[in-house]
């Protein structure tokens, strides 16, 4: 019988055995790179705040390594969405070991209406499938309501994506994703994760990123205006803004926003992009 202590060991079989028993040969098309290292899954769970209890949303539990760690570190409840039906028996086994604490939803997370299933204040923790990780992050960052229903994101990304999310102006990683993420959230890289921690190893190093929603975006702007400005500016990132923003108003727009027309997009702070979005708004 499973231990009934909140943080007790779950007495489930080792993950390698779970994978063998359920024939879970990793599928590249689903971004399946599994984590077996219990120290690492515990570290991610603690970074996500599992020790404080509460409800967590996990995208892509796979065989359940991170799910098990979230539960054993103290998550009150985990709502897990998995697209690969082969993983469901393993996840049901975890649900049975933690009665009432794990809800498994068999679905594509990109298509899920999260407002219908996630309680306010939910924390999101996931070792994301790399092929849809950025799309999911953008989905979470562009909810019409702000602050959003989620209280934090603790997510695994390819390191290069993590650097784009957290980049400051002036560097090669600074771009649309940095502006969008940091306009609405604080974002930082917590730690790197070596390729060898995954089965099979991905081609590049990964990193855990933590995002927390700001109560208010960094500066006022309409999201749709900000997206148009950053798409045009970074779409031609080597050009001066007076050139790349020509279709949106060019020099007149830059003057209205008080921005040097000869600047390039990587020179601009997020508040400058917000000023451009406000100047563009009509
Ligand atoms: N959480 C597990 C771990 O850490 O070992 C597995 C992580 S693996 C990188 C990504 C998981 O996301 C896989 O189990 C995959 O089947 C699942 N997945 C891929 N695309 C998905 C989608 N659109 N919606 C939900 N799950 C998805």
**Could you say which DSSP state residue 219 is in?**
S
Specify the residue with its C-alpha closest to ligand 1, atom 20: 30
Report whether pLDDT(4) > 50.
no
Average the pLDDT over 173-196 and give the result: 98
Specify the residue with its C-alpha closest to ligand 1, atom 14: 62
Q: What is the CATH number of domain 223-281?
A: 1.10.8.100
- Residue-wise pLDDT tens digits, 213-254: 999 999 999 999 999 999 999 999 999 999 999 999 999 999
Q: What share of the chain is helix, strand, coil (3-state, %, to 5)?
A: 40, 20, 40
Q: Where in the chain is the domain with CATH 3.40.50.150?
A: 4-213
Average the pLDDT over 263-274 and give the result: 98
pLDDT computed for residue 7 by the predictor:
41
Specify the residue with its C-alpha closest to ligand 1, atom 17: 60
For ligand 1, mutation pick of 75, 79, 83, 130 (most atoms within 8 Å of CB): 83
Specify the residue with its C-alpha closest to ligand 1, atom 8: 32
Report whether pLDDT(282) > 90.
no
**CA-angle at 71, arms to 70 and 75, nearest 5°:** 80
Index of the ligand 1 atom closest to the CA of residue 81 = 25
Index of the ligand 1 atom closest to the CA of residue 62 = 14
- Give CA–CA dist 273/229, Å, rounded: 7
CA distances in angstroms from 267 to 186, 203, 238, 262, 263, listed in the order given: 20, 31, 11, 10, 6
- Residue-wise pLDDT tens digits, 87-145: 999 999 999 999 999 999 999 999 999 999 999 999 999 999 989 999 999 999 999 99
Index of the ligand 1 atom closest to the CA of residue 156 = 9
pLDDT computed for residue 176 by the predictor:
98
User: Residues near ligand 1 with C-beta < 6 Å?
Assistant: 30-35, 59-62, 65-66, 81-84, 87, 108-110, 127, 129, 132
Average the pLDDT over 178-187 and give the result: 98
Index of the ligand 1 atom closest to the CA of residue 84 = 16
- Give CA–CA dist 56/71, Å, rounded: 9
Sequence-distant contacts of 199-205: CB under 8 A, at least 24 apart: 199/26, 199/33, 199/34, 199/35, 199/36, 200/26, 200/33, 201/33, 202/33, 202/130, 202/158, 204/158, 204/159, 204/160, 205/158, 205/159
Average pLDDT value for the chain:
95
What is the number of residues in the chain?
282
For ligand 1, mutation pick of 19, 30, 133 (most atoms within 8 Å of CB): 30
Index of the ligand 1 atom closest to the CA of residue 33 = 9
> Right CATH number for 4-213 from 3.30.460.10, 3.40.50.150, 3.30.420.40, 3.40.50.1010?
3.40.50.150
Specify the residue with its C-alpha closest to ligand 1, atom 19: 30
Report whether pLDDT(164) > 60.
yes
Q: Where in the chain is the domain with CATH 1.10.8.100?
A: 223-281
């Amino acid at each position: 019988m499973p231990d009934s202590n909140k943080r007790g060991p779950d007495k489930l079989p080792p993950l390698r055995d779970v994978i063998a028993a359920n024939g879970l040969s990793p599928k590249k098309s689903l971004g399946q790179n599994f984590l077996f290292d219990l120290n690492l899954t515990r570290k991610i769970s603690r970074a996500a705040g599992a020790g404080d209890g509460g409800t967590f949303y996990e995208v892509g539990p796979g065989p359940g390594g991170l799910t098990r760690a979230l539960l054993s570190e103290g998550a009150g409840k985990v709502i897990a969405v998995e697209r690969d039906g082969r993983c469901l028996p393993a996840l049901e086994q975890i649900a049975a070991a933690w009665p009432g604490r794990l809800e498994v939803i068999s679905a594509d997370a990109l298509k899920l209406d999260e407002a219908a299933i996630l309680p306010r204040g939910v924390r999101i923790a996931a070792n994301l499938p790399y092929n849809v990780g950025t799309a999911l992050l953008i989905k979470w960052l562009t909810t019409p309501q702000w602050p959003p229903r989620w209280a934090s994101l603790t997510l695994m990304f390819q390191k290069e994506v993590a650097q784009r999310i957290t980049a400051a102006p002036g560097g090669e990683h600074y771009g649309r994703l940095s502006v969008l993420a940091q306009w609405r959230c604080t974002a930082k890289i917590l730690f790197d994760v070596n390729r060898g921690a995954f089965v099979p190893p991905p081609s590049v190093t990964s990193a855990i990123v933590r995002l927390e929603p700001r109560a208010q975006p960094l500066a006022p702007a309409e999201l749709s205006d900000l997206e148009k400005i950053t798409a045009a500016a970074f779409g031609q990132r080597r050009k001066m803004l007076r050139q790349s923003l020509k279709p949106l108003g060019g020099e007149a727009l830059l003057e209205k926003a008080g921005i040097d027309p000869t600047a390039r997009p990587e020179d601009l702070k997020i508040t400058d992009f917000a000023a451009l979005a406000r100047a563009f708004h009509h």
